[in-house]
Amino acid sequence: MATSKSDSIIIVGAGVFGLSTALELNRRGYKDITVLDRYNPPAADGSSVDISRIIRIDYADPVYCKMASEAYQGWQTEYKDHYYESGFALLSQTPDNEWIAKSAATVKANGGTVEDLDDARQLLRSFPNIQSDLAGMNGYLNRRGGWADAASSIQKLASQCSVAGVSIISGPRGSVGSLLKEGSRVVGVNLVNGGSLRASRVILSTGAWTNRLLNITHAATSSGQPVGFIQLTQDEARSLDNTPVMINMSTGVFVFPPTPGSNILKLARHGYGYANEVAIQLDGATHTVSAPKFESSNAGTGYIPQDADDDLRKGLKQFFPKFADRPWMNRRICWYTDTPKGDFIIDNHPSLRGLFVATGGAGHGFKFLPVLGKYIADCFENKAPAELREKWRLQEAPRESPAEKSMKGDGSRAGPPLRKLTSTEKARL
């Protein structure tokens, strides 16, 4: 549906999807854009937050490889002050990892270059400061890649929005409790403080919180992924200078070089995660969904399940054995918005007029920050190619509730299967 440049637009969610959309629509001439969120960006418990996110062009899917290559140019130019070109090594404990092989082929087909590692210890030739136990591992290195400071990148993006005239409202006046509907049309949002805001169009970029506002459990759900941080001294951090981002594709654990200045070492797991089941009231019915907390920050307690802690410790022992017993300075759960094949959802709602959905980051959306808004805006204006619209389509919910749909993503994840949190674990979140 066409939207006038003077029509009011509300974007719910001030993460990478929401803010990049707001800025691009503003650049295309839309004059009345308001972004709402529980917290100021970067949100304390959002996905687009904390000290680092992997920046890579490595994908088995050619669409995302092309997009990531475009975004990589943005990281080298507009966002160069937030990007660190460390290199990116994809490693496996077993031979012939299917996703690694497909990714290497796709990168090469897209004009990129990778360095095959029949023995991962070959990395030491280029990165002699690596202290990891790489015996028995293989994979490849892509020197075009590394990591970005997620929090500072989002701060830059939010500042660009504000300077351009986009309104960003946070706190109770920016916390959306439900969609405001008139019949089959969404005409705004209801706020948790009892007020409401009306708009010609509403865009939901609410990530892992989407199922709290919209019943799309057939298309997306949320899972929590563990992240850990340890504090190094300056000398310890310097001993790891000039080392790449590395991921063990057999366990899902990935690690970053120490962050300059703070000397913090971060590792996390790109896996199937944990489901936090909650009962939600939507449209007069009760639905059980997996979603993070809404009323308070999900990053406040520093809690992760014990089995997640154990796996991060194993990863720490493999990649940084010298610091295997170093106490955590912080831990958190990062909330993914999972989709069946790891594809984004960027589409008009099939039955609610006035509602557009841009979500489904699936643990890999942030790296597209420099170009993501352009792709979303093209879909919003119905200018995107038909193949892309179909790939990111939000399908109508089935009439009958099917068996639980698999949300395993694009094949890049590893580690233990999805597990539901126990009541005791949920109480500690």
Other CB atoms closer than 10 Å to residue 383's CB: what's the count? 9
The CA-CA-CA angle for residues 241, 246, 250, to 5°, reads: 155
Q: Is residue 360 part of a domain?
A: yes
> Whole-prediction pTM value?
0.97
One-letter amino acid identity for 137?
M
Q: Is residue 14 part of a domain?
A: yes
Q: How far, in Å, CA of 12 to CA of 173, rounded?
A: 12
Half-sphere exposure of 134 (CA within 13 A, CB side): 23
CA-based nearest residue to 288, from 298, 278, 296: 278
User: Does residue 305 form part of some domain?
Assistant: yes
Assigned domain for 2 exists: no
Amino acid 6: pLDDT: 96
Q: Which two tokens stand for residue 350?
A: 């099939």
- Give the number of other CB atoms < 10 A from CB of residue 408: 16
- The closest alpha carbon to 251, from 91, 55, 418, belongs to 91
Residue 387 lies in a domain: yes
Q: pLDDT of the chain along its 429 residues, tens only?
A: 678 999 999 999 999 999 999 999 999 999 999 999 999 999 999 998 999 999 999 999 999 999 999 999 999 999 999 999 999 999 999 999 999 999 999 999 999 999 999 999 999 999 999 999 999 999 999 999 999 999 999 999 999 999 999 999 999 999 999 999 999 999 999 999 999 999 999 999 999 999 999 999 999 999 999 999 999 999 999 999 999 999 999 999 999 999 999 999 999 999 999 999 999 999 889 999 999 999 999 999 999 999 999 999 999 999 999 999 999 999 999 999 999 999 999 999 999 999 999 999 999 999 999 999 999 999 999 999 999 999 999 988 876 555 456 888 999 999 999 999 999 999 999
> Does residue 1 fall inside a structural domain?
no
Looking at the structure of the chain, the number of domains it has is 1
The answer as to whether 289 is a domain residue is yes
Taking the C-alpha atoms of residue 128 and residue 122, their distance in angstroms, rounded to an integer, is: 10
Could you tell me which residues are beta bridge partners of residue 11?
35, 203
Write down the pLDDT at residue 399. Answer: 65
Q: Is residue 26 part of a domain?
A: yes
CATH code for the domain in which residue 275 is found: 3.50.50.60
**Residue ranges making up the domain that contains 283:** 8-428
